[in-house]
Each structure stands twice: as structure tokens, then as C-alpha cells.
Amino acid sequence: MTTIFNVWDFLLILLYAIIPLAYIIPFALMAVYAERKISAWIQNRVGPNRTGPIGLFQTTADILKLMQKEDIVANGADKKLFLLAPIVVFIGSYAAYAALPFTSVYIGTNINLGVLYMVAISGFVVAGIIFAGWASDNKYSIMGSLRSAAQLVSYEIPTLFVIISIFAITQQFNLRELSEMQTSNILNWGIFGFDGLGYKRILLIPVLFVLMIILFISTLAEVNRTPFDLPEAESELVAGFHTEYSGMKFALFFLSEYANMFAVSGLVTAFFLGGYQSPFGYLGNLLGLSWLVPIEQVLWFLTKGILLVCVQIWMRWSLPRLRMDQLMRVCWKYLIPIGFVCFIYITIVMYL
Amino acid sequence: MKSFEEILELLKSNFSGENDISSSKEGTEDIINVSPSLIKEVSKFLASTEGLEFDSLILLSGVDDENGEKVKQEDESNDITGGTLSVYYHIESVKLVHKLILKVSVERENPVTTSVSSVWGCANWHEREAFDMIGIIFNEHPDLKRILMPYDWEGGYPLRKDYRNPEFYNGMKVPY
Amino acid sequence: MGPQHPSTHGVLRVELKLDGEKIIEAEPHIGYLHRCFEKHCEALTYPQIIPYVDRLDYLASMNNEFGFVLAVEKLLKIEIPERVEYIRVITGELQRIASHLVALGTFGLDVGAFTPFLFTFRDREKILNLFEITCGARLLYNYHWVGGVSHDLHPDFLRLTKEFIDYFRPKVEELNGLLSYNKIFIERTANIGVIPVDVAINYGVSGPSLRGSGIKWDIRKNDPYSIYNKFDFDIPVGQGLAGTLGDCWDRYFVRVLEIEQSLRILEQAIAQIPEGDVTSAIPKRVKPNEGISYARVENPKGELGFFIVSKGGVQPMRVKVRAPSFVNLSVFPEIAPGHMVSDVVAILGSLDIVLGEIDR
């Protein structure tokens, strides 16, 4: 009975864990608002502009509305699973934030298997979606959730190919070390071949572009966004696996979708766009204020992540939806062979 | 492109029986009257003969001719007995660009005729509608059931001139 | 797929027999919107029927009225002033563009592309504004009367229509760039719902659905009515550019091309329209002779026909409507089997049905 359990340690762990949550909730608020505004601009409309100065409080109003809605549970629904499903999905999305490299000073958990941890946790989300579909007692929900599960599981494979390709270059799964390897200027970013490889970078750059696109597409499929949103849009009847959810549980699904979007954008930036590094020195270093540097790093990371989230929103409102078998075909017939070829190429180049 | 008289001659020469094929004029349109028992053969003939090739049915409509005896009922409406119901076929040829109107008259008390849905697939739903609204029964139709009214409507055939709404349908009061 | 579904263009119930995701049998059930139009007609006088005719295909009211008025005028045998003919053609073509815009927008929406829907509706608003200054209504007009039209055109109408044509031409290119050649859209719609030529003619399919299968058949050219033989326009047909001939993409693209042809007709009509009195030929009492008449027009959805049986009174004895969507939908059980459930939505969207016409 040694003092493994120290109250202060526990509080520190709790603090480390709360920070991403404190980030997710305002981010989700802003992301929903941004999506509605951006989609309105694309579609020649105005978007929300009544609640708050330019409609800024729209999401808050929505959350308040959802909280006071009646919580309907269908009669034949499996009550425990029904309640558990949104919680599991949210836990899956939230736990992925533990490994995102926000700054060099703070990272949720500096686990050496950062990336693999994130991919494993996304399996939680799959389980949550299946719970949701099954517990709804609605055959269309079941079909929707099965499709979603198939889609998520298939698209993890191209993701893994990209991850092991990057591993072949950098020998690092730790996201913080990956970001450290992309220091000092934009030419050291992942997409331009990382630091310290010499002439091999020229050979690697085109392949790294391709890998970035593959990663972006497959993570888009992981979060069920258009053009891969068959499970949650149309799907025979209204809304796929979350048809039967109302009120706060639905809000939780929504929240976890936007949290997921940022998590995968964070993954793409950590790999290819320099993580939290800035493209040109730090203001803190210039001014000699070393405490400014982590803050700047946070800002850079958030900017890049939010930029990618905006690209995802833009894609959603421009493209039609892929049918289920076409979705699978894109994954198995195109992304996986291309990913495999890139991986072989990278290992050959690294071997030279 | 054949004229009306030529088509009439062709039909008359191929189908014997004077009362089976005749022509008449209603308003400004020339129509060919066909007897109910012959309509399917006539349609097959029209659709497949060289030079006629009527490959498309534009319209098939049932009409209540209101030419029977009106029997007055207690509630001031009329019940009609006797008289005829008619089916008008408008057919045309997309290849040879000519049109024709056929008419079949059946008795009100026994409105049975043959279906032409094996010749023109368009007729399938049109005949269902004629059955639903006027009550003409088409033999050899693949699936003759009501199309616009609910499938278990017992109240009769709505477009007949002596149609009255039933009191109740499945427990609900009908004219509310 | 029940009567309430966001993608079935109205209250239509489609019963699907599935094997996993593949369809073995499909049967549409209609009648949810039956409003007893034909029974009403037997109790109304001819001019009173016109507002009811509007509500058949509520997205293309001008063309509906055109057809009905032609059928009655055939029975009455009256001469209509030339200005009235031109006004009917102009409003008919504008209405055709508006209806096609709805069809294209909702088709994109069914397939998952949200944005073209709003672009097409924005342009449709301009057409509806034109109609509003003419007859006061945006959707259901009661404008074409037996023997003429109810009001003359607004003095600014022709100028505004010209401005609209100039504004709208580049927008069709924009729509093409956004949706028609989009790879994902082509994947969703090419080789889906192929209607072979002989099935199409046998089942009486008409309009863009027939022309999508490669057959050049347009009532305006093959059986001309009104003054359409004075205009110079082409009939676009499907050519199987994206896949098989007669698939959903062909039908969709025929509609896009038809918009351009309608713009051509509009330009010529605006240039040629004469002056005249539009209400001079409207009879005080519409009392046709005894007889039957059948008149058909080219509705945006297909061939719309009115079959009127008159016994000489002020009320018709029987009015039967040959609705194009009714006949187009009857081909659905033939072409649906073998596809997946997500394709049902694409096929129904490409056939462009309006339940108001089907159920009357």
C-alpha cells in the first residue's frame, strides 16, 4: 500500500484531462456556427444573424433548446444500450484528444504510441454507433449503423498505411516527437519531407503529398462527413443511426461529430503540416520571452486544425454523396493499393 | 402515314362481322367502334401490322355514357339502369406519325371487356384506373385492383353518374 | 419506403422487395393525393375548371392551363388573336424553365448535393417575379382563359424578360460546372435506371424521360399546336455521354439542354410578338357543341393531354387528364429491379414526378 494514489497527482491528472474538454465545448459551439455560416455563404444565403450580434449565440440557443426537449425513448428500445451509446461515442472522440500535440509543454499524455492509440480509440466510436443503431429498435437505424460500422472499419486501413509510411520515415509514433521533428521553418514540415534526410527529401515529396490526400480522405470517411455521409443522411429513412434520439442525447452525438472532425484534422496537421510549429520562428524567441512560445504553438496548432475543418465544411456543401458500394470501392480498390505502393516506395527510398 | 379511311378499310377486311367494326363521328373526331370481344385482337393487329405500327397508347379512359333510364330515389338523386359505359382508346404511332381513336361500349349491368396491357404496357395502370373509377372489368389483366381509391373501398365506383358516397368507411364517417 | 419520405417528391409509397440491398420487385402505391378532380369537373362550367387545372401539376401551371384551354377551344372552334398565342408561348416557355429548375435542384438534393438546389431556386425566383407582375400570382395563375388570357402583359414585361434571359444564360454554365460533370454525381446517376427504347414507347413514357432514351419525339414539333411551327429550335436527345443511353444522367442532361432551347424560343417570341387585344375573343358563355376532343401539349414533365366529352351543355360530361407523371411512373416497376435502395431515390428524381398530376 504505497502512496501510488496521491491526491495532488490525481488532481494534476484531472487538470490535464479537463483542458481538452474545455477546448472541445467552445470549439463545437463555434464549429456549428461556422458550418451554418459558411454553408449559407456558399449557397447565396445569409445564415443565422438574429441571435446575438451576427448570430454568434445561435448554437447556445440550440443547446438550450435541446436541453429542454422531451427525452423520448422508444418502447421496444433497449434502454441501457440506448443511454450508453451517445456516451460511448463521445468518450471515443474525446479520448483521442489525449494524444494531440497542442504544444511542446502540454500534451494530454505523452504516450510513445500516440498515433496507434488514436486509431485504436476510434474503434470505440464504431462500437458506440452500433449500440445506437441496435438499441433504437428501428430496422432502418440498424441498417444505417451497420453501414457506418463497415465504412469506419474499412477506412481505418488506408489510415494505417499512411501511419506506417510516416513511421518508416521518422521512426516515431509519438506525436510530440513528430512535431518536434518539423521544427524551425516551413521547409521542415512533414509534407516537405521532415528534417535531416538530405537528398532523399526530393524523392519523397510527391509521395508525401499523395499520402496527405489519402489521409485526409480516409479521415473524412472516419467522421462520416460528406461525401461519405450515407449512414447519417438519406439512408432509407430520415437520419440513419441517430433517428430515434432527441434532446440532449442527440446533442451529444452532434458534439462528438465536431470533436471528431477536429481530432482528425489535428492528426493530419501533426503528420504533415508541422504540428504546432510555426512556419517561421517564434515571436517569443525573437523577443526573448520564453513563456510566449507555448502559447504561440497552441495558436498555430489551432489555426491549422481549424483551417482543415473549414476545408471539410466546404467539401460537404459542394459535393454529392457517394453510394455505399461506391464508397467501399473507393476504399478497397483505390486508396488501399495507392497507399500500399507509396509505402513500398518510401521504404525503398529510406533503405537507400 | 395512313388516313382514317384506309385504316378503317384494313380493319374491316381483316375482322369479319359487320357489327364488330364500325365508324362514327362524335363532334369533329372520327372514331372506330369495336366490340368488346374483339378489342384485343384488333389491338394486336394494329400494333404489329406493317404500315400501321401503332406502338404507343396515349390514353385509355372510361366514360359513363349516361344514356340509361333514370330511376328516381328517395334522396332526390337518380339511379341509372341500362345504358352503356364506354372505353376510349387513343393510340398513335411514333414511327409513322398517325393517330387513331377506338371506342368500346359495354353494358352497364355487365361491364366486361378484355385488357390490352399485353400489347401496350401503358394500358396497365390506365385500365386499373378505369376499373377503379367507372367499374369496367378487364379480363386477363395482370393485377386488376384499385389504384387511386383505397384498396378496400366498398362504396362503388366514383365516376359513375349515379354514385353516392357511402355512410361509413372502416368505421369513419365518410362525408364529414 | 413510406408516404412520408424526404426524397419521394410528394406522398408516394413505394413497396420494395429486397434481397439484402438489391431490389427484386418494386411497386408504387399512389392515391394519397387524390382530390377528385375529374368528378369536380362534371359539376363546374368550363371557365370554372381552369383554377382546378392549375393544381394538377402545381409546378407548371401555365402549361396545364394551355392544354385545357386548347381542348375547349377545339370544341368551340373559335379563332384566337395572335397576340394571345404569343403570350401563351412566352409564359409556357418561362414556366418550362422554372419547372426544370425545380427538377434539377431537387434531383441534386436527392443525390446529396445541397448547393445546386439553392442556386436553381434563386433563379426561379426571378421567373416567379415575372409571373407576379403579369397576373398577380406566383405559383397557380388562372391566367389562360378560354379564348384568350385574363390580362394583357405588363408594359415592362418584355424588357424584364429580356434582362432575365441575359442574366440566366451564364447561370446554366455555372450549374453544369457544379453538378452535371461532377464525378461523384456521374457515379451516382450513370447506368442507373436505364429505360430501353422499346420499353419507353410501349409504356407511353414521354417528355425528357423519353428523349433521354434517344428518341426525338416532341409534341411541339411532331404534332404542332398553337404557333410553335413559327419558331426555330432543336430537340435535345440523350446520347449516352456518361454511360448507357437512357440512364438517369441522360434524362437529367436533356432537361439542362432544354432550358437553353426554351431561352431560344423566348428570344424569338419576344422579338415577334404583335400588338392586339387579348380579351376580344373570350366568349360570354362557353357552350361547346356535342362531341369529344383531345388536345395535348408538351408539359415540362411530358405529354399532357385533356380528353373532354361534351354533351352540349355548359358543363362537361367527362374530363380525363392524361398526366405525364402517371404514365412515367408506371415504367418504374420495370426498370427498378437489380438496383440498390439508394438508387430508387435517383431513379424517381430523374423521372421527375409530381404527385399532384398522378393522383389528380
* Residue B175 within a domain: no
Residues A75-91: pLDDT tens digits? 766 778 888 888 888 88
In angstroms and rounded to an integer, the radius of gyration of the C-alpha atoms of chain A is 21
Alpha-carbon gap, residue A129 to A149, rounded angstroms? 7
Name the range with the highest mean pLDDT among A169-173, B62-66, B166-170, C95-99. C95-99
Q: What is the mean pLDDT of chain A?
A: 80
pTM above 0.90, yes or no: no
CB contact under 8 A, B61 and C307: yes
CATH of the domain at B152: 3.30.460.80
User: Could you give the 3-state DSSP secondary structure of residue C71?
Assistant: helix
Please name the residues in contact with C127: beta carbons below 8 A apart, sequence gap of 6 or more. Answer: C94, C95, C97, C98, C101, C164
Which residues does chain C have within 8 Å of residue B96's beta carbon, measured at their own beta carbons? none
Section C68-91 average pLDDT: 88
Which residues does chain C have within 8 Å of residue B90's beta carbon, measured at their own beta carbons? 294, 305, 307
Alpha-carbon gap, residue C171 to C108, rounded angstroms? 16
ipTM, interface predicted TM-score of the complex: 0.87
Which residues does chain C have within 8 Å of residue A226's beta carbon, measured at their own beta carbons? 112
- Of A232 and B34, more confident: B34
Q: Does residue C248 register a pLDDT over 80? A: yes
Q: Does residue A40 register a pLDDT over 70? A: yes
pLDDT the model gives residue B176: 60
Chains that touch C (3 or more CB pairs under 8 A): A, B
| Residue showing cell 510549429 | A277
- Of A46 and A244, more confident: A46
Q: Is B83 on the interface with C (CB under 8 A)?
A: no
| Residue showing cell 428500445 | A77
What are the phi and psi torsion angles at C37 (to 5°)? -60, -45
Which residues does chain B have within 8 Å of residue C310's beta carbon, measured at their own beta carbons? 27
Alpha-carbon gap, residue C57 to C60, rounded angstroms? 6
Shortest CA gap A137–chain C (Å): 17
* Residue B130 within a domain: yes
* Residue B166 within a domain: no
Q: Are strands B56-64 and B84-92 parallel, antiparallel or unpaired?
A: antiparallel
Degrees, nearest 5: CA angle C295-C96-C217:
55
Q: Does residue A2 register a pLDDT over 60? A: no
| Domain boundaries along the sequence of chain C | 6-359
Which residues does chain A have within 8 Å of residue C1's beta carbon, measured at their own beta carbons? 236-237
Enumerate the H helices of chain A as residue ranges.
Answer: 7-42, 58-67, 79-95, 114-135, 139-170, 175-180, 200-222, 247-272, 283-287, 292-318, 324-329, 336-351
Alpha-carbon gap, residue C339 to C345, rounded angstroms? 11
Residues C141-180: pLDDT tens digits? 888 888 888 888 888 888 898 999 999 988 888 888 888 7
Residues A117-147: pLDDT tens digits? 888 888 888 888 888 888 877 777 777 778 8
The parent domain of residue B121 ranges over 4-160
Give rounded-to-5 percent helix, strand, coil for chain C: 50, 10, 40
Which residue in chain A has the smallest CA separation from C115? A43
| Cβ atoms within 10 Å of B79's Cβ, excluding its own | 13
Section C19-26 average pLDDT: 82
Smallest Cα–Cα separation from C273: which of C62, C42, C91, C9? Answer: C91
Alpha-carbon gap, residue A333 to C70, rounded angstroms? 57
CB contact under 8 A, B26 and C290: yes
Alpha-carbon gap, residue A9 to C338, rounded angstroms? 63
Name the residue facing C184 among A236, A322, A324 (closest C-beta).
A322
Shortest CA gap A229–chain C (Å): 9
Touch test C–B: 3 Cβ pairs or more under 8 Å: yes
Tell me, which fold does domain C6-359 have in CATH? Cytochrome-c3 Hydrogenase; chain B (1.10.645)
User: Could you give the 3-state DSSP secondary structure of residue B16?
Assistant: coil
Percent of chain C with pLDDT over 70: 98
End-to-end CA distance of chain C: 21
Name the residue facing A234 among C108, C185, C345 (closest C-beta).
C345
Please name the residues in contact with A73: beta carbons below 8 A apart, sequence gap of 6 or more. Answer: A79, A82
* Residue B50 within a domain: yes
Residues C274-292: pLDDT tens digits? 888 888 888 888 888 888 8
List, in sequence order, every residue forming a beta bridge with B78; answer none if it has no partner.
B72
Name the residue facing B147 among C31, C310, C327 (closest C-beta).
C31
- For residue C108, the number of C-alpha atoms closer than 13 Å in the C-beta half-sphere is 27
Mutate which of B31, B55, B59 to disrupt the C interface (most C C-beta within 10 Å)? Answer: B59
The answer to whether C245 touches C164, Cβ cutoff 8 Å, is no
Degrees, nearest 5: CA angle A268-A274-A280:
150
Q: Is B28 on the interface with C (CB under 8 A)?
A: yes
The answer to whether A259 touches A26, Cβ cutoff 8 Å, is no
Q: What is the mean pLDDT of chain B?
A: 80
- Of A249 and B75, more confident: A249
Section C113-137 average pLDDT: 87
The answer to whether B28 touches B55, Cβ cutoff 8 Å, is no
Shortest CA gap A165–chain C (Å): 29
Alpha-carbon gap, residue C142 to C68, rounded angstroms? 12
DSSP, residue by residue, C99-125: HHHHHHHHHHHHHT--HHHHHHHHHHH
Q: Does residue A236 register a pLDDT over 60? A: no
CB contact under 8 A, C34 and B148: yes
Starting at the edge strand found earlier in the chain, the sheet holding C318-322 runs C290-299, C302-311, C318-322
The answer to whether B52 touches B2, Cβ cutoff 8 Å, is yes
Cα distances (Å, whole numbers) of residue C322 to B125, B130, C170, C294, C329 = 12, 13, 35, 10, 13
Q: What 8-state DSSP symbol labels residue A275?
A: T
Q: How many domains does chain B have?
A: 1
Degrees, nearest 5: CA angle C119-C125-C127:
115
Q: Is A43 on the interface with C (CB under 8 A)?
A: yes
Cα distances (Å, whole numbers) of residue C203 to A308, B46, C34, C289, C328 = 51, 16, 23, 33, 8
* Residue B96 within a domain: yes
Interface size B-C, in CB pairs within 8 Å, comes to 93
CB contact under 8 A, C330 and B158: no
CB burial string A285-304: b at 16+ within 10 A, e below: eeeeeeeebbebbbebbbeb
Q: Does residue A1 register a pLDDT over 50? A: no
Least confident of A179-183, A206-210, A214-218, C220-224: A179-183
Mutate which of C39, C73, C307, C331 to disrupt the B interface (most B C-beta within 10 Å)? Answer: C307
Section B125-146 average pLDDT: 86
Alpha-carbon gap, residue A256 to B35, rounded angstroms? 71
User: Could you give the 3-state DSSP secondary structure of residue A167?
Assistant: helix
Which residues does chain C have within 8 Å of residue B159's beta carbon, measured at their own beta carbons? 38-39, 318
Q: Report residue C97's pLDDT band, with 50, 70 and 90 as the boundaries.
A: very high
* Residue B171 within a domain: no
Element of type H or E holding B130: helix B123-133
Please name the residues in contact with A196: beta carbons below 8 A apart, sequence gap of 6 or more. Answer: A181
Mutate which of C235, C315, C330, C335 to disrupt the B interface (most B C-beta within 10 Å)? Answer: C330
Touch test A–B: 3 Cβ pairs or more under 8 Å: no
Enumerate the H helices of chain C as residue ranges.
Answer: 37-41, 46-54, 61-76, 82-111, 115-135, 157-175, 183-189, 197-202, 208-211, 219-222, 248-272, 324-329, 332-335, 341-351, 355-359
Residues C283-331: pLDDT tens digits? 888 888 888 888 889 889 888 989 888 888 888 888 889 889 888 888 8
